[in-house]
Structure 1
């Protein structure tokens, strides 16, 4: 893993150097990623989870349709923002001269993106022809991802305070 981390750092370093040449305050370099990702996790993540569950549990068909549409609109955007934030977090560490791929925060972020890819694939297949098992797997996996994102945020706060 160290060799891969070193190669990744080398590949990101030129971009980090470009950003370091800008008049960006150290506090923004250090806390920008956590701030923006907290917004994505807590605002978008809760919206996606609530709208997804409302679409499943309501008895009002109009409410279900609206929530399903909201979930379909925001969940992919949240995933894109999280993937972008993942790369931003790596860039922030390189800019601060910190090691990559060593923290539990990195591990949970990687697991989150992997699970989001799996969950998105389940959805994109049309839940295997609208199979209840896959719809349930999507819902519960999505809920597990939200819980993991909260743990990820706490680990990120711990990491941010330690460096």
Structure 2
């Protein structure tokens, strides 16, 4: 599957290479941009989601739930786009794609957040408290895995 994926991505990677993008940007652009997404957006989404669940004041709860609902989809889109950019960066650098635990944790997080998005889109099973609880813990688990993903990414970046 790796060679097939590389075949699909190489034409775009070659186009970017021809632009003469400096090597430090090709090498570290993905980690820097995704660090912002993970820590700023991910931190805010996690905080707002849990604050919405735990707040005693109904107005605070509603405000945080609304903030969570606005930012979480954007975070998901940026994570998917960032994964695409990370894969593109690996191809541009001539590195293997599917051999890294960083790749696999990233794909797992995307799957987990996709499931969480589906749960929210289907209105938590028509407001079922159990689905809301699952959503909260599943999303928190995805964010925790994302922190492991960051560590694996730093290790990968330093190794190439």
| TM-score bin (small chain) | over 0.9
CA drift of 1:140 comes to 0.3
Aligned length, in residue pairs: 160
1:84 to 60, 72, 81: 81
Q: Specify the alignment match of 2:134 in structure 1.
A: 137
Alpha-carbon distance between aligned partners in 2 of 1:14 and 1:107, rounded to the nearest angstrom: 23
Q: Distance in 1 between matches of 2:120 and 2:68?
A: 11
Mark the runs of 5 or more structure 2 residues left unpaired by the alignment: none
Distance 1:112 1:153 in 2: 11
The answer for the alignment partner of 2:101 in structure 1 is 104
2:151 equivalent in structure 1: 154
Alignment of 1:5-154 (within 5 A): 5-154=2-151
Displacement of 1:23: 2.3
Q: Distance in 1 between matches of 2:85 and 2:103?
A: 12
Aligned structure 1 segments of 4 or more residues deviating by more than 3 angstroms: none
Give the match's secondary structure for 1:99: coil
Aligned-partner SS, 1:35: helix
Question: Normalized against structure 1, the TM-score is what?
Answer: 0.97
TM-score by length of 2: 0.99
